[in-house]
Amino acid sequence: MSNKTSSVAKAASSGGSTKCGDLMSWLKRKEIPVEKETAAKVPFDEKKDTLEAGKEDVSPTPQGSVEYLKSLVENIGWRKVLLVEFRKEYMDKIVKFLQAEKEKGVKIFPPQHQIFNAFNLTPLHRIRVVLIGQDPYHGENQAHGLCFSVCKGVKPPPSLINIYKELKTDIPNFKIPDHGCLESWARQGVFMLNATLTVE
């Protein structure tokens, strides 16, 4: 699969690329031990096909706070790794900016509760492939926290159609889906992150 990754990412868009080495070297520099999560810590409702994680250990906090943003990282392992970033000054500035834009009535995508879906759907220790996109789609019901992916029921965008075509070329038995939701990829270890997590 690794031999196919670069061609797929390049075909997706000019912003798509694989930077697994960069991500892993960043994590190594942090020198934070990552424990393997258990199902008990991060419960998952297979029937609803949505995350139900973190509800037990997340106390109510104001939406315009860093603590609230941190609570959206429901995966315990990722939350430990990202803790140092949430403590930095720039994170407070981001939260204040987003809150100010929200109060002005600016629509921000993806919805706040889905900003960290890439982290919540793909635990750190399960990452096999890293795809980096540019920024989230800015149409209604499109962006949901995974680069190149759209919500269920939404027509696949051109960048994702290109990925499907490349996969079909590389893997003759690949069946092109009639949807653009890549959550199943994320659960299999494909870490799909946009360089910019939100967009107007």
Average pLDDT over residues 5-25: 45
In a domain? residue 121 = yes
Domain count, the chain: 1
Range of the domain at 24: 2-30+38-194
Active site includes 135?
yes
In a domain? residue 200 = no
In a domain? residue 43 = yes
In a domain? residue 107 = yes
Tens digits of per-residue pLDDT, 74-87? 999 999 999 999 99
What is the Cα–Cα distance from 74 to 91, expressed in whole angstroms?
Answer: 18
In a domain? residue 130 = yes
In a domain? residue 199 = no
CATH number for the domain spanning 161: value is 3.40.470.10
Q: Which of 22, 92, 135, 170 is catalytic?
A: 135
Tens digits of per-residue pLDDT, 56-66? 444 445 667 88
Residue 188 has pLDDT above 80, yes or no: yes
H or E element that contains 99: helix 89-103
pLDDT at 28: 53
Exposure b/e, 34-61, CB count within 10 A at least 16 = b: eeebeeebbeeeeeeeebebbeeeeeee
